[in-house]
Structure 1
C-alpha cells in the first residue's frame, strides 16, 4: 500500500491540537480569551510551528498572525486560508483552531515537497472572533479591514475583566490606535480568495455519515443580547389580572408569538432559526409570591435572507407595541447587532467539490447557521468559501469531538483545491 503523503502533516496537526489543549486547559474544557493568555499561547504555538517549517511569519498592528509560503510572483494576490484561535469559556479544542491548523498543515505539506505556486499561500490566525469576550461580531477580521467603529477600543469592554479592548490590546503588545484611526492591515486587492475550514457546529454531517461539507452561505444575524421588559412588582395574591403589569408574562407572550411566526415563515420555505437564549427575572426580587416587575431576555435570529431579517425586526417592534398597550409594560430591546448574510463563491465551491470527488471524499453542501470570519472577507468582495468538518457533540462546549480521520479527509480536499488556486 502506498504511504499516505500527508502522514507527516497529520502527525503535526495531532501534536498541535494536543499541545494547544494542554496550554489552554480550563476544566472541563479550554479557555482562550480574546486578547488574553490562551489566545496568546495559541498564536505562539502556530507561529513556532510555521517557523520550524521555514514559513515566513508576521503579526500586524492588531495581532493578526500571518504565516506565508512564498510563491514565485510575490506581486500576485495571495490565496489565504484562516480562522480564529480564541474560544468561548470552557469550550472545545477545535472551534476555529481546526481551520488554522489545517491551513498550516497544507502550507507545511507544500513546503516539504517543494511545491511553490505562482502566488503566495498565506495562513491567518485571526483575533477575537468569539463575541462572548467583547460584544462585537467578527471583531478581529473587521478590525483587520478597518471596519470597526473608531471608538471600539475604548467603548468595548471584556466581559470577564471589565477592562477595555484598548487595554487588553496594549497589554498584548498591539496598537489600539490602528482601530481608532480606521487603519486596515489587510487589503482586499491583495487577496485572490479566502478559504476557512471549520468544524460543523451542528449534527448534520454526523447524522448523514459524511466527513465534510461544502458551505453554500453563512446566515446573517439579528441579535438583541440585552433586551428587557419593565413592568411593576406586585403581590401575587392581592393584585387581580386587570391591574397587573407582569413583565414575565409579557416577555413570554412575545417569545411565544415569535415562535408561532417562525413556524409560519419556515413553512413558507424561508430560511430561519430563532433563539431566546436568556429569560431571567431580577434575582434581587425573586419570590414565588411576587409578580415580576422586570425580566431580561435575549434574541438571536439568523437567516440567509436579508429581507426576512428586516421583516422580523419590524414585526418585533410592532408586536412589542401591541403587548405594551395590552399589558401595561415597556419593552426595551437595548443595543442590537446586525450581521449581513454572506454567499460563498460558486467557483470556489466547485473547486472544493471537484477536489473531494478526485480524493474520493464523500460530502454534501449545506448552509452555515453560525457566523464566521469568512463572512467579513466575502463582504469585502473577496471570493470566499468554507469547508465543514464532521464534529460530534456540538460546539462551544468541552465535548467537541472532531476525529483526526475527518480532519485528514478535509486536508486532502483542501490540498487538492490549492493546486489550481495557486496557479
Structure 2
C-alpha cells in the first residue's frame, strides 16, 4: 500500500512529467507497432501471394513454340496430374466424316472437327453461357465417360441435327509425321454419340470446333481400338507456389525438362513451361523485406531501450533531491528505486494501453500481434527504466545534499 500511495502522490504532484511520460511511451510503442506490423504484413502478403498471383504450368514441345497441337502421351499427362496441382485443363483432337460422300477408304480430310476436353475452361472459344443443354445436362458432362456431345449451331444447321439425335460416323485420330506438319488419318471406329446440346460460335471466330466430347470417353474409345491416344494440350495451376522448387524437382523426376529455344520444332509434348516470373519476383521482394526487417530487429529494439533509458533518466533526474532526502532519513535506495520504477512503468504502460487500440484500428494489427507488441515494449521498458535508475542511484547522499544547500 505504501508503494501505491507513493506512486499516486508522485503522479498527481507532477502531472506535467506524468503526461510527458505517457506521451513518450505512446510514441515509442507506436514505433514498435509499426515495425512489427510491417514484418507481419509482409509475412501475410507472402503467405497469401498464391491467391493473388497464380503460377501456371503448361506442357510444350522441345523449343517451347507450341502449346496446342501437340502429341502428349498419356503417361506424361498422368505424371503431371500426380503433382501437387489444381485446375488441370487438357484437350485432344479427332476428326470424323458425317457426310456419306466423305466416307472413303483413303481419307484426305474430315468434315467434322472433334474436340475432347475435361472442362469448358480448356476451350478458348466456348463458354457455358453459350451452350443450350438438354434437360438434365450441364457442362459437367465433360467430366464423365458417356458417349455424348454438344455441336455448334452452324454445324447442326448444315447437317440438320437436333438435340437428342444420335450421330454415328467413322472417327479418326491424327498422327503427325516426323516433319511435324503433315499427318495421316487413323480410323479408330464408328462411335454413336448422343447430341445433348448446341453452342454458339463467336462472331469473330470460324466454325473450327464442330463437336465437343468428354475427353475421358475419347481416350477410352481410342485405346479400346488398339491405337495410341495423344493429348493435344495440357495446362494446370500449381496448388502452392511457395513450394515451387519442390514442384519443379518432382517434374524433373518425371523426366519433364525445360524448353530449349534452339531445339527442333517437334510435336512431342515432353517439356514444361512454368509461368512463374511475376510470382518469383514478388515473392523475392517480400522475402527480402522480411529478411531486412529481421536483420535490423535487434538494433531497432536496442535503440528503443536506449531511448527509454534516456527519457527515463532525464525525467527521473529531477527526483534525485527527493531520493537524497529519503536516503538521509534512512530509507534504503533500493526501496525508493522500486517505487520510482513502478511509477514510471505504470505511466509507460498507460501510454502503451492508450495507443494499442489505435494501432489495431489504423494499422490493422491483430490482437495476437498487439499482445506481442505489448510484451516487447514491456521488456524494453523494464530494461531501460532499471538501467536509468542504476545510473541515477550512483550518488553520494551527503555530497548531493551539501550541493543543494
TM-score normalized with structure 1 length: 0.23
Instruction: Determine which structure has the larger helix proportion and give its number.
Output: 2
Higher relative contact order (CA 8 A, sep 6+): 2
Q: Give TM-score scaled by structure 2 length.
A: 0.24
The structure number with the bigger radius of gyration is 2
